[in-house]
Structure 1
Amino acid sequence: MGRPTTKTDLINAATINYDNMNVLISKLTETELSTPFDFSEDEKKTEAHWKRDKNLRDILIHLYEWHQLLLTWIQANENGENKSFIPEPYNWKTYGDMNVEFWRKHQSTSLEQAGELLKKTHKDVLSLAETFSNEELFSKGVYKWVGGSTLGSYFVSATASHYEWAMKKMKAHMKNCKK
């Protein structure tokens, strides 16, 4: 399936990828869950997140925090507050530092708590998406605060695309554990 461009496709892709991610999580062995993520041997994995996330909790918290970004950004702007998606002091050039801060913030969060937080925000994000029309989600220029993109593209990025990222990372970890 390509990147969603309609409300129906967005809801379906987010739901399917979330469900697929949870199926993959359910297949993780005790060894895979207890072995720290380590991708240092793979010279192709150079992005910061390959070093940042050390376990499943870190991935789930990352997804949760990006849901929170989306939810608070939309709520603030709909209430007339001019708020950027990436909160100050961060921006699109420094959001990696923000991700590290999310990671630090949740080092004492349990895997179970992370799963519950993500489950709730996934539902909240899909419920919020349902409140918008197809045009509001996927037509440019509907909301000045979205900039040159569409609101739907933010929903896709925070859900379906991010869930694909999480599954790719989990599969790479699973493969490493079999070596």
Structure 2
Amino acid sequence: MIPRNKHSLQDAIRKNYAQLRTELGQDLAPISDLPELDGHVKGTKMSLNNLVAYLNGWGQLVLKWIDKTDKRETVHLPETGYKWNQLGLLAQKFYTDHEADDYLTLCRKLDETVECVQLLIESKTNEQLYVKSWYKQWPLGRMIQFNTSSPYTNATIRIRKWKKIRIQQEQSP
């Protein structure tokens, strides 16, 4: 269900992130750098580390957008130097930004980003999040959801699919 107010947005992030976090168990750390998951660009592969870096990158962008908006500064969407048709390049930037981080550090950073997003949402009124348009026809709450709770669900599905394939490969002779 698509969140339509502040509280449903907070609940969606909490629920979807809890499911994702369950899939991101510490037992995956030894294989987290293997490029085995379907990538963000068609026909590419990425590692679990890349996926976590990607999610953190988008969460950090959400925080940046709102910080700049609150300061009445210009916001370049999706990111300075990138257009909406360059999201594959932006994903690569996120991977590069975090390539020195190990899996547990990436997961910790993502936990912190999600907590900051939740605190930011808490600081906003329902009107600020859902009544006014923030970007084109989209209210701020919807833009937050597009870049947090929805990708958490997508990532959970990717990880489950990857785990299932790995188990099948281990069991086949």
Cα deviations by residue, 1:119-146 (Å, 9 ceiling, x for unpaired): 11100000001111112111233x4xx2
Q: 1:147 to 1:34 in 2, by over 3 A?
A: closer
Q: 2:146 aligns with which of 157, 162, 176?
A: 157
Q: 1:32 to 1:136 in 2, by over 3 A?
A: same
- Partners in 2 of 1:80 and 1:48 — Cα distance? 33
Q: 1:131 aligns with which of 86, 99, 123?
A: 123
**Conserved 8 A contact 2:63-2:117:** yes
Equivalences for residues 1-179 of structure 1 within 5 A: 2-26=1-25, 33=32, 36-39=35-38, 48=41, 51-54=44-47, 56-141=48-133, 143=134, 146-179=135-168
User: What TM-score do you get using the length of structure 1 for normalisation?
Assistant: 0.84
Q: Secondary structure at the match of 1:86?
A: coil
What are structure 2's unaligned runs of at least 5 residues? 169-173
- Partners in 1 of 2:30 and 2:20 — Cα distance? 18
Aligned Cα RMSD in Å? 2.2
What are structure 1's unaligned runs of at least 5 residues? 40-44
Q: Secondary structure at the match of 2:80?
A: coil
Q: 1:21 to 1:80 in 2, by over 3 A?
A: same
Q: 1:51 to 1:78 in 2, by over 3 A?
A: same
C-alpha displacement at 1:94, in angstroms?
Answer: 1.1
**Conserved 8 A contact 2:54-2:94:** yes
% identical aligned pairs: 22
Q: Indicate the residue corresponding to 1:42 in structure 2.
A: none
